[in-house]
Chains A and B, each alone.
Chain A
């Protein structure tokens, strides 16, 4: 090993060895410490959208409060909050699902807060009645269907997806994902556990392939002809239609949107929600951030950059949403999505919907 011979020639290496160790041990301890300075707000969020970065930057500009963001799945975040207990540095928890909001509340991870601004901007049905959390945006879980191969007259309800005419034509993602879990939770709430289990089994039987991939993959699979209809969230369609990759855009253009259950309870919606953590060190700043996010400016960014439905009704409807038209939303109490979550997960396991 000629390469290493030069090392042998240096006699100072022994001293350097110790120095290297000392330096690395010291630097190891340094990283563990967080740097603190003026006003901050610490966010634990499950949201991974670029629009959020934009909003936090604007918030810091306007208020001078620095936003520290920690990204992880809601499950991980809730775990960490529990473990950290009173010592947690987090001020805010943001989830992309009402079910996880409910779970965090149940575990006593939130503290209730009052804000007139929030009450004014956000309708009561999107807020926890006890003030533990509030929604930021909502999204619908709709049916995206192939324009060429599906007659929209054939579509009606989620329950109808269990019928034989859809055999081998349905595409959707894994049951591991909370969007599907919450959808099933809403069906349990509407029709009961037994009927929901039969529904899940039937839909699984109608699938064109094993549930896998993301919501976007389902849309691409429809475009590719693997299936005819996909159960996906609305904002992914928006994101695909505006993607840099031309192939993504072409795929999204081949499908159209259908809002199920318009004739009865309405389409299943879910919220991306936010709450102040129980031991928040910067409670004031946290409430200010929540208020900022509820105002028209922020809501408009979320609607136009990320294609989520804004919770603030004063915001002008985004053009994409206009093209889809208004729809009736299921106005079930969102906490139920959390209450029924474990039932939903067990149903999925029992019918084998992976």
Chain B
């Protein structure tokens, strides 16, 4: 889509509507920054002295550790899968993405259970091999353990993006390199890797955002970060002000990350100017090397998905009779309904934003819409705090003016609030598929329709929307999966007596009912896997 600087149509109802949406979505972040000027609560000085340094260091180490590990895991597996032929390559293509369906906190409990004293590994060693294992050796509940767990669930981001990049690198480039007598490894380090840099950095940025957002893993493993500090201040101390200060500190990390990523991308051109690239051929290897490649992929797959998934199945098998009852199905229904509605709302709002942009491709409108999708970079706990504060005030105001006896809680603790928070957080997830959908369709059909006399509204419903139906569907599906997995935001904002699969799994695991929590976990994982299969088909069909 071409952007123009001409100020025709600088205001119309679509722009107005879009701006309204953007404004409402950015309220939570704005609230935070206004409240930073309030004096901090009583526990702040105590926290500053004793805990703040821990929060900072742990968060920093987590980020660096996960960035390094996901880099190695993601890039190496992506390179292997896109450059070489080896047995099972077709399957590993999508098997290696599966860990994305495993939320981090579920991976954390599963591995803890696996390596626990009463778990299968230690029991086996004690009973069958007669080895008394010192639990301290395979203790996973610490910072390195958290890095491990987060890395194996997040490396698929880097894997996907790198693989797309490597596969797109044209055959001509590869042939040129080999003509110039460059060895395979030299080609990798000097050509392929640098060209994939924006994709890799993008993937690592995405993974880093997820690390900052995480609550379940770090809480369970006892690693104190800003997010656990926010929860502690909010719930244990009732000190909202301190929670806000911590939220802002966390946002500084996020901004630093975004800034670094933008800086890195700069103005460099990484794309080949030739639009019709032939994808690179996959080279053949000697037999032992081929099996080595299979072995590496198998190992990664086993550790990051297969073994924990087997453990989850095992627990379900042991406990399903106790856990699966009417309550459980109600839980599934509620989680699904909440996720689907959020998906629909987000797709609706994205359509409004993108249609406004489509009709008025002006730079400031584009920037305004970009602001709306920033929420994805903001940790869930931060959004929750940012929403709670003004809503509490609003409720007090409403109650005092409109309630017959001066009391009432209409918005706080309602599902409406939860869905609003999901919109703020996951706007980007629905936005991108629809954006690319509109881009592919192009503006000409829309313009033709309007030239023939149909208004903008009619054109939207009769022409544009039907044309991007697959994108709408994809958007709803992707939001659905993300909402289903979401934990920290839901924990804080959920209405009372309202559990989602995610909060229920977390709740049970923290109350020493890990095996029982596997039932909810299994549903989350299975629903997470579905879009992955679609995603892989999508990438394959586009010949990447």
Chain A residues near B (Cβ < 8 Å): 1, 3-4, 7-8, 13-14, 17, 20-21, 24-25, 27-28, 31-32, 44, 48, 68, 70-73, 75-76, 78-80, 82-87, 89, 174, 176, 208-214, 216-217, 220-221, 223-226, 245, 247-248, 251, 345-346, 349-350, 352, 354
Contacts and interface: CB of A to CB of B under 8 A. Distances in A.
Contact of B409 (A4, A25, A84, A221): A84
Contacts of A14: 461-462, 465-466
A71 B507 contact: yes
Interface residues of B, number: 61
Contact of A87 (B119, B232, B407): B407
Contacts of B46: 346, 349
A334 B356 CA distance: 63
A122 to B, nearest CB: 26
Contact of A216 (B123, B134, B407, B512): B512
B544 to A, nearest CB: 14
Interface in B410-465: 412-416, 419, 461-462, 465
A209 B252 CA distance: 33
A32 B461 contact: no
Contact of B337 (A31, A68, A350): A31
Contacts of B496: 44, 70, 72, 80, 89
A68 B50 contact: no
Contacts of B174: none
B171 to A, nearest CB: 26
Contacts of A8: 466, 469-470
A4 B471 CA distance: 9
Given A28-B419, A247-B117, 14 more contacts: A3-B537, A4-B470, A14-B461, A48-B511, A76-B235, A83-B409, A83-B413, A87-B407, A87-B408, A209-B139, A211-B222, A247-B119, A349-B46, A349-B51
A72 B408 CA distance: 22
- Main secondary structure on A side of the interface with B: helix
Interface in B286-337: 334, 337
Nearest to A223: B117
A221 B51 contact: no
B469 A13 contact: yes
Given A3-B537, A21-B344, A225 B134 contact: yes
B169 interface: no
A212 B219 CA distance: 11
Contact of A32 (B466, B495, B511): B495
Given A14-B465, A87-B408, A224-B122, A32 B117 contact: no
B407 A85 contact: yes
B470 A7 contact: yes
B118 A209 contact: no
7 contacts: A1-B534, A25-B341, A78-B238, A84-B409, A87-B408, A212-B141, A225-B132
Given A1-B470, A209-B136, A70 B497 contact: yes
Contacts of A248: 118
A174 B378 CA distance: 29
B116 interface: yes
A34 to B, nearest CB: 8
A48 B123 CA distance: 27
B473 interface: yes
B50 A20 contact: no
B337 A7 contact: no
Nearest to B407: A86
A71 B507 CA distance: 9
A351 to B, nearest CB: 9
Contacts of B260: none
A347 to B, nearest CB: 10
A247 B123 contact: yes
A3 B474 CA distance: 11
B135 A83 contact: no
Contact of B538 (A1, A85, A216): A1
Contacts of B221: 212
B541 A224 contact: no
| Interface-central residue, B465, B470, B498, by most chain A CB under 10 Å | B470
B133 A224 contact: yes
A345 to B, nearest CB: 8
B236 interface: yes
Contacts of B469: 4, 7-8, 13
Contacts of B139: 209
Interface in B106-144: 116-119, 122-123, 132-136, 139, 141-142
A245 B139 CA distance: 21
B365 interface: no
A9 to B, nearest CB: 10
B134 to A, nearest CB: 6
Report the 10 A-B pairs with minimum CB-CB distance, sorted nearest first.
A247-B118, A220-B117, A4-B470, A349-B50, A224-B135, A86-B407, A75-B235, A212-B222, A24-B341, A70-B497
A7 B473 contact: yes
A344 to B, nearest CB: 12
B50 A350 contact: yes
A251 B117 contact: yes
B392 A83 contact: yes
| Interface-central residue, A3, A28, A68, A76, by most chain B CB under 10 Å | A28
B118 A220 contact: yes
Contacts of B408: 87
Interface string B375-419: 000000000000000001000000000000101110011111001
Contact of B134 (A217, A226, A349): A226
